[in-house]
Structures are given as structure tokens and as C-alpha cells.
Amino acid sequence: MGDYLTDWYFVNRSMHIISVMAWMAGLFYLPRLFVYHVEEVGSGNPTDRLFQTMERRLIKAIMNPAAISTWVFGLCLVFTPGIVDWGSYWPWFKAFCVLVMTWFHFWCDWRRKEFAAGTNRLTGRAFRAMNELPTVLMFVIVFAVILKF
């Protein structure tokens, strides 16, 4: 299997980067939609239903496939011989950050379901604060991978 992954390394790496970009776009945008949903829309009106539709489609049609493909191509890179030095700190640190990013993805979906049920209790300020998490994680992951500390 190692030869196969080595032969497809550049394709896997390219697909991983493309997948991460799509996933990050959703992780940046969905909490921002939540801010507007809470502060401007309210609940039980046509605009509320429109926002619920936008939020559902964003996570189901873009974020979920992007997250899955990020993980699939990322694991292909992990199992490609000679790519990851597990004796260094950076792959472990990156893995931890990716797990936190995945948790954030699920957290966003849980919040989306609360909007759909009419049970959201978080404020726009809370969503703004949480919206910073993927940005911080992105910086940490990129620097870990590039600098390989």
C-alpha cells in the first residue's frame, strides 16, 4: 500500500489542501450566519426559515463532505511512507488541533439543530467568540506543518 500512496502523494496532498480550504470556508461562515440569525432574524418567521435552510445546506452540502475528504486525504498523507516524522512534536500537535477543529464542526452542527428546534440560547457575542477558534487553529496547524517544530 505504501507504494500506491507514494505514487499518489501529490494528488493526495493537493486534494487535502483543497478539502481543507472548503472546510475552513464553512467553519468561518457558519458561526457568522449564527450571529446574524440571533441578532437580526429572531425565530418563527420566514427569514428564520431561510437562515435555517442556508445553515443546513452549508453544513450538509459543503462542510460535511469537505471535512470527510480532509480526513481521508489527510490520513492518506499520514500513511504515506517517509512523510511524517512521528518523533517530532508537530504531527502530534497538528493531530490535536485537527481533533479540536473536528469538535468545533460538530459543535456548529449542534447549534444549527438548536436553531431548527427553536431552542438556541447563545448570544451573538458567544458566536463571535467561538468564530475565532477556527482561525487560531488554522494558524497553529499551518505553522506546525511548515516549521515542523
The model carries a pTM of 0.93
Closest CA relative to residue 144, chosen from 102, 92, 80: 92
Task: Please report the DSSP string for 37-88 in residue order.
Answer: IIIII-SSSHHHHHHHHHHHHIIIIIIHHHHHHHHHHHHHHHTSTTT--TTS
Amino acid at 56: R
> Virtual CA dihedral for 55, 60, 62, 64, nearest 10 degrees?
120
pLDDT 10s per residue in the chain (149 long)?
668 899 999 999 999 999 999 999 999 999 999 999 999 998 889 999 999 999 999 999 999 999 999 999 999 999 999 999 999 999 999 999 999 999 999 999 999 999 999 999 999 999 999 999 999 999 999 999 999 88
